[in-house]
Amino acid sequence: MKFGLYGINVGPCAAPGVAIRVARAAEEAGLESVWTAEHVVLPDPQAPPSPLPPGTPLLDPAVTLAHLAGHTERLRLATGIVILPQRNPVVLAKELASVDVLSGGRLIAGFGVGYLKAEFDALGVPFAERAERMEEWLDALLALWTQRKPRLAGHRVSFAKIDAQPRPLQKPHPPLVLGASTPPAFRRTVRRANGWYGFALDPDGTRRCLGGLAAAARQVERPAALGPLEITVTPVPGLPDAEVVAGYAELGVHRLVLLPRVRDERGLLDFIERAAATFL
């Protein structure tokens, strides 16, 4: 079981010095990765399904990971997730390739389709088109990262006779991890991703999602080049006990990305120390 830390760009970690110290502590403790959250904007006032109060400080994922790349050596740097349909995929391909280069090939590229309509409205992105954009934007990223002469003729994004250097260091590209827990999202993950990410799931919720992924695998073909699907889960907030962690392992979870229930730097550092003492 690999262990990561969630929220390296949120709350107290929105302060750059805190993020550096927390990431270094995670690396020194033996954690495998740190993960960012993303919302470009948040509804004000907060209303379901918005996950955070509108005043929550939340740094951009790519900027945060580039900042941390120069202050860590081994720690994997993960977007957990970027809301892909809200982004310009050509610009995002450059940003994330830059993170992979600056980090020496440590990026994990996690993407989701998004669920806050108010956020899409503020960005001028049609909420109803987000699934179609997700598919096409993935095509754009992979073309720009892997093709010798990048080319795409899509409905919403097209390019040819261009290049975008540097490419990511990881070949053929950084690991793609897709989130969400609907049947279409499960099928997309099986068809296109190296990994799947489930957020705030207890073992029962994880079991249901893994059942959904298994059903999707019977419906769509998984390219052999993708290899086995790596399963990443963020449990409910707090430090799970050893028995709960063993339950995730029995289900086939490969990585737990822990979500601290703390409000300051000292609490984060203590959480990392306790996690390392318990699991590592």
In order, the DSSP letters of 151-171 are: -EE-SS-EE-S---SSPPSSS
The predicted pLDDT at position 180 comes to 86
169-183: pLDDT as tens digits: 999 999 999 998 999
Give per-residue burial for 143-152: e unless 16+ CB within 10 Å, then b: bbbeeeebeb
Residue 147 and residue 127 in contact, taking contact as beta carbons nearer than 8 Å: no
8 Å CB contact between 60 and 37: no
Q: How far apart are CA 156 and CA 178, in angstroms?
A: 21
pLDDT tens for 85-140 read 999 999 999 999 999 999 999 999 999 999 999 999 999 999 999 999 999 999 99
pLDDT band for 254, please (50, 70, 90 cuts): very high
pLDDT tens digits along 36-88: 999 999 999 999 999 999 999 999 999 999 999 999 999 999 999 999 999 99
pTM score of the predicted model = 0.97
pLDDT of residue 61: 98
Q: For 186-233, what is each residue's pLDDT tens digit?
A: 999 999 999 999 999 999 999 999 999 999 999 999 999 999 999 999
